Amino acid sequence: MQRWPVLLFLAWVCFLFFAGIGLFMSGFLLTRIELANSSSCSDPLVPPPWDEQSLPPGSCWVPRRFPKAVLVIIDALRFEFARFNPAKVSPLPYENKLSFLHHLASSQPRHARLYRFRADPPTATMQRIKGLTTGSLPTFIDVGSNFATYAIQEDNLLAQLVQNGRRVVFMGDDTWEGLFPKKFFRSYFFPSFNVKDLHTVDNGILQHLYPTVDSGEWDLLIAHFLGVDHCGHKHGPDHPEMAKKLTQMNEMLRSLVEHLGNDTLLLVAGDHGMTETGDHGGDSEKEVNAALFVYSKTPLFGTDPPEEPEAVPQVNLVPTVALLLGVPIPYSNIGEVMAELFSGDGDAASAALQQLSVYHVNAKQVDRFLRSYSLVAQDLPAEQLQRLQELFSSAVEEHTQLLAQVQGATLTPPEMESRLRSLVSRFQLYLREARAVCTQSWARFHPLRMVGGCALIAAACLLCYVASELASVSDSFYRSCLLYPLLWGLVVAVLLGLACTFTQEGLDLLLLSSCAAAASQLGFFWHWWGRHPKRARLVGSQPPLASVGPRQRLRAWLVLAFPMGILLFRCGAMFSDSFVVAEARVAPFLLASLVTLLVGKLHWDGRLTVPEGPKQQLLGFSSYRKESWYLLCLVAMLLVCVRLSGFFHQCREEIPQCRPSVFLAPLASLRNTRAKNLFYLLCVALLAGMVYAVRSWLRHYGNLNSSDPLVLFVRWGFPLVVLCIACYWAVASSAEDSLGKLQELVQVAVVAFPWAVYGLTSVGLLLLLCHPMTVFAKDTRESAGSIVTPYQGVPSSEVDFLHVIPQIYRRMQESQKNRLERGSCRATVAAYGLGSVYSAALVIALTLLGFLLMLLHSERLSLAFLLLFLEAFVLLHIHTRARSLAGDTESFSVPWFAVISWLLAASQFFYSTGHQPIFPAIHWNAAFVGFHLDHSTNLLPAVLVGANTFASHILFTVGCPLLLLWPFVCEMPSSQKKKPKKEPQEELQEVEEHMMEMRLRESPEKFSAALLQLGLKYLFVLGAQLLACVCAAMILRRHLMVWKVFAPKFLFESLGFVVSSICLLLGISLVMRVDCAVSTWFSQLQLR
Partner 1 sequence: MRDAEVRRLWAANLLCAASVVLTAVVPAFFLDGFTVLGTHLTWLCVCSVCVGTLNVILCLVLKPSLSPKRSSLGNKISRFLKCCIYFFMSCILFHAIIVLYGAPLIESVTETFLFAVLLSTFTTLQCLCMLGPNIQAWIRVFSKNGATSIWENSLQITTICSILGAWFGAFPIPLDWDRPWQVWPISCSLGATFGYMAGLIIAPLWIHWNRKQLTYKSR
The site for partner 1 (CB under 8 A) is made up of 196, 576-579, 581-582, 585-586, 588-589, 592-593, 603-606, 609, 618-624, 639-640, 642-643, 646
Whichever of 111 and 585 has its CB closer to partner 1, that residue is 585
Main-chain dihedrals φ then ψ at residue 224, nearest 5 degrees:
-110, 105
In the complex, what is the shortest distance from the CB of residue 611 to partner 1, in angstroms, rounded to a whole number? 12
- Measure the CA–CA gap between 477 and 473, rounded to whole angstroms: 6
Residue 150 interacts, among partner 1, Zn ion, none and using kind-specific CB cut-offs from 5 to 8 Å, with none
533: preceding bond cis by omega (within 30 degrees): no
- Measure the CA–CA gap between 94 and 321, rounded to whole angstroms: 29
- Measure the CA–CA gap between 381 and 370, rounded to whole angstroms: 11
Residue 589 interacts, among Zn ion, partner 1, none and using kind-specific CB cut-offs from 5 to 8 Å, with partner 1
Site membership for Zn ion, residue 241 (CB under 5 A): no
Whichever of 149 and 194 has its CB closer to partner 1, that residue is 194
How many CB atoms lie under 10 A from the CB of residue 694?
Answer: 20
Site membership for Zn ion, residue 229 (CB under 5 A): yes
In the complex, what is the shortest distance from the CB of residue 596 to partner 1, in angstroms, rounded to a whole number? 9
In the complex, what is the shortest distance from the CB of residue 233 to partner 1, in angstroms, rounded to a whole number? 12
What letter does residue 326 receive in the DSSP assignment? T
DSSP calls for 966-1017: HHHHTHHHHHTS-----HHHHHHHHHHHT-TTHHHHHSHHHHHHHHHHHHHH
Stretch that binds Zn ion, among 271-279, 334-342, 389-397, 794-802 (CB under 5 A): 271-279
Residue 825 interacts, among partner 1, Zn ion, none and using kind-specific CB cut-offs from 5 to 8 Å, with none
In the three-class reduction of DSSP (H, G, I as helix; E, B as strand; rest coil), residue 375 is classed as helix
Whichever of 133 and 880 has its CB closer to Zn ion, that residue is 133
In the complex, what is the shortest distance from the CB of residue 907 to Zn ion, in angstroms, rounded to a whole number? 30
Whichever of 324 and 635 has its CB closer to partner 1, that residue is 635
The closest alpha carbon to 733, from 677, 687, 688, belongs to 677
In the complex, what is the shortest distance from the CB of residue 31 to Zn ion, in angstroms, rounded to a whole number? 22
Residue 973 interacts, among Zn ion, partner 1, none and using kind-specific CB cut-offs from 5 to 8 Å, with none
Q: Contacts with Zn ion in 22-81 (CB under 5 A)?
A: 75
> Are 776 and 833 within 8 A, CB to CB?
yes
Residue 53 interacts, among partner 1, Zn ion, none and using kind-specific CB cut-offs from 5 to 8 Å, with none
- Measure the CA–CA gap between 1024 and 560, rounded to whole angstroms: 15
Residue 575 interacts, among partner 1, Zn ion, none and using kind-specific CB cut-offs from 5 to 8 Å, with none
Residue 610 interacts, among partner 1, Zn ion, none and using kind-specific CB cut-offs from 5 to 8 Å, with none
Residue 624 interacts, among partner 1, Zn ion, none and using kind-specific CB cut-offs from 5 to 8 Å, with partner 1
Site membership for Zn ion, residue 1053 (CB under 5 A): no
- Measure the CA–CA gap between 725 and 757, rounded to whole angstroms: 7
Q: Which of 34, 271, 287, 336 is the binder for Zn ion (CB under 5 A)?
A: 271
In the complex, what is the shortest distance from the CB of residue 283 to Zn ion, in angstroms, rounded to a whole number? 15
In the complex, what is the shortest distance from the CB of residue 640 to partner 1, in angstroms, rounded to a whole number? 7
The closest alpha carbon to 330, from 737, 23, 28, 39, belongs to 39
The H or E element that residue 840 is part of is: helix 837-856
The H or E element that residue 117 is part of is: strand 112-118
The H or E element that residue 745 is part of is: helix 743-770
Q: Contacts with Zn ion in 73-92 (CB under 5 A)?
A: 75
The closest alpha carbon to 342, from 43, 39, 41, 50, belongs to 50
- Residue 389 CA, chain-centre distance (Å), reads 38
Whichever of 113 and 1044 has its CB closer to Zn ion, that residue is 1044
In the complex, what is the shortest distance from the CB of residue 883 to partner 1, in angstroms, rounded to a whole number? 19
Q: Contacts with Zn ion in 109-138 (CB under 5 A)?
A: 125
Residue 229 interacts, among Zn ion, partner 1, none and using kind-specific CB cut-offs from 5 to 8 Å, with Zn ion
The H or E element that residue 872 is part of is: helix 862-886
Whichever of 234 and 819 has its CB closer to Zn ion, that residue is 234
Residue 75 interacts, among partner 1, Zn ion, none and using kind-specific CB cut-offs from 5 to 8 Å, with Zn ion
In the complex, what is the shortest distance from the CB of residue 125 to Zn ion, in angstroms, rounded to a whole number? 3
Site membership for Zn ion, residue 174 (CB under 5 A): no
The closest alpha carbon to 281, from 1047, 916, 1055, 1030, belongs to 1047
CA-CA-CA-CA torsion sign (341, 345, 348, 349): negative
Angle between helices 862-886 and 962-969 (to 10 degrees): 60
Q: Contacts with Zn ion in 851-870 (CB under 5 A)?
A: none
Contacts of 564 (CB under 8 A, 6+ apart): 896, 900
- Measure the CA–CA gap between 439 and 449, rounded to whole angstroms: 17
Whichever of 508 and 605 has its CB closer to partner 1, that residue is 605
In the complex, what is the shortest distance from the CB of residue 427 to Zn ion, in angstroms, rounded to a whole number? 32
Whichever of 480 and 645 has its CB closer to partner 1, that residue is 645
Contacts of 397 (CB under 8 A, 6+ apart): none
Beta strands in 370-475 (DSSP E): none
- Measure the CA–CA gap between 60 and 25, rounded to whole angstroms: 42
Q: In this chain, which residue has its C-beta nearest to Zn ion?
A: 125
What letter does residue 120 receive in the DSSP assignment? P
**Residues 1009-1037: b if buried by 16+ CB within 10 A, e if exposed:** bbbbbbbbbbbbbbbbbbbbbbbbbbebb
In the complex, what is the shortest distance from the CB of residue 658 to partner 1, in angstroms, rounded to a whole number? 12
- Residue 705 CA, chain-centre distance (Å), reads 44
- Measure the CA–CA gap between 716 and 773, rounded to whole angstroms: 17
Site membership for Zn ion, residue 202 (CB under 5 A): no
In the complex, what is the shortest distance from the CB of residue 280 to Zn ion, in angstroms, rounded to a whole number? 6
In the complex, what is the shortest distance from the CB of residue 133 to Zn ion, in angstroms, rounded to a whole number? 14
Residue 1030 interacts, among Zn ion, partner 1, none and using kind-specific CB cut-offs from 5 to 8 Å, with none
Whichever of 23 and 1041 has its CB closer to Zn ion, that residue is 1041
- Measure the CA–CA gap between 994 and 976, rounded to whole angstroms: 9
> Are 320 and 121 within 8 A, CB to CB?
no
Residue 971 interacts, among Zn ion, partner 1, none and using kind-specific CB cut-offs from 5 to 8 Å, with none
Whichever of 98 and 586 has its CB closer to partner 1, that residue is 586
Whichever of 172 and 523 has its CB closer to Zn ion, that residue is 172
Whichever of 241 and 583 has its CB closer to partner 1, that residue is 583
Contacts of 427 (CB under 8 A, 6+ apart): 356, 359, 360, 362, 363, 395
Whichever of 5 and 232 has its CB closer to partner 1, that residue is 232
Whichever of 271 and 971 has its CB closer to Zn ion, that residue is 271
User: Would you state the torsion angle of the CA atoms of residues 44, 48, 53, 54, taken in this order, to the nearest 10 degrees?
Assistant: -140
Whichever of 129 and 460 has its CB closer to Zn ion, that residue is 129
> Are 993 and 905 within 8 A, CB to CB?
no
Site membership for Zn ion, residue 155 (CB under 5 A): no
Site membership for Zn ion, residue 706 (CB under 5 A): no
Whichever of 358 and 1040 has its CB closer to partner 1, that residue is 1040
Whichever of 270 and 278 has its CB closer to partner 1, that residue is 278
Binding-site residue total for Zn ion (CB under 5 A)? 4
- Measure the CA–CA gap between 318 and 157, rounded to whole angstroms: 7
Stretch that binds Zn ion, among 251-259, 268-276, 676-684, 986-994 (CB under 5 A): 268-276
Residue 604 interacts, among Zn ion, partner 1, none and using kind-specific CB cut-offs from 5 to 8 Å, with partner 1
Largest CA distance in the chain: 125
Residue 576 interacts, among Zn ion, partner 1, none and using kind-specific CB cut-offs from 5 to 8 Å, with partner 1
In the complex, what is the shortest distance from the CB of residue 279 to Zn ion, in angstroms, rounded to a whole number? 7
Main-chain dihedrals φ then ψ at residue 172, nearest 5 degrees:
125, -145
Residue 665 interacts, among partner 1, Zn ion, none and using kind-specific CB cut-offs from 5 to 8 Å, with none
- Measure the CA–CA gap between 371 and 952, rounded to whole angstroms: 44
Residues that bind Zn ion (CB under 5 A): 75, 125, 229, 271
